């Protein structure tokens, strides 16, 4: 079993960060994914508050990977598992935004997965770096959004 584990702190409020995380349509604005593939997604909320059971399909380059939301506690937890991904198996992840001491938000993003023998030497380094960018994305975008208000 491999893991990725990143923590990022932002001056943005937990409310703004949470809204970005639960709205799959916003992910291409702040993350490393290129687009939300609506033809392969099922159950996303049109109002941007995706619920447990929704499958969110994200395209990055030519690759489309899907995640099924498995847990949700407002402003505290967004959990998901792999719905379809050719490079990984048994992927489970948790995003845990929490108020930072003073103000702002700490985003903790943690995942576990298995991969093929062929990818076991490459995938952990690649995914750790990718997930660092994923956690930094909503942090920076939320800061910019609050500054523009």
Q: Which domain holds residue 93?
A: 2-148
Global pTM?
0.91
Q: Is the dihedral of CA 77, 81, 84, 89 positive or negative?
A: positive
Q: Is the dihedral of CA 36, 28, 91, 94 positive or negative?
A: negative
Judge whether 139 and 8 are in contact, CB under 8 Å. yes
Could you tell me the CATH number of the domain that includes residue 125?
3.30.530.20
Number of domains comprising the chain: 1
pLDDT tens per residue across span 42-56:
999 999 999 999 999
pLDDT tens per residue across span 90-118:
999 999 999 999 899 999 999 999 888 87
Give the distance from CA 37 to its chain's centroid: 15
- The residues facing 69 across adjacent strands are 80
């Amino acid at each position: 079993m491999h893991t990725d584990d990143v923590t990022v702190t932002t001056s943005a409020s937990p409310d703004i960060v949470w809204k970005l995380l639960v709205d799959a349509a916003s992910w291409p604005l702040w993350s490393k994914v290129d687009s939300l593939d609506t033809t392969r997604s099922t159950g996303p909320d049109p109002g941007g508050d995706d619920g447990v059971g929704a499958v969110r399909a994200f395209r990055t380059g030519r690759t489309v990977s899907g995640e099924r939301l498995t847990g949700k506690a407002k402003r505290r937890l967004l959990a998901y598992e792999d719905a379809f991904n050719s490079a990984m198996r048994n992927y489970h992840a948790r995003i845990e935004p929490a108020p930072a001491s003073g103000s702002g938000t700490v985003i903790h993003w943690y995942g576990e997965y298995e991969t093929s023998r062929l990818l076991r030497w490459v995938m952990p380094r690649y995914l750790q770096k990718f997930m660092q960018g994923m956690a930094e994305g909503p942090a920076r975008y939320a800061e910019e959004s609050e500054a523009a208000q």
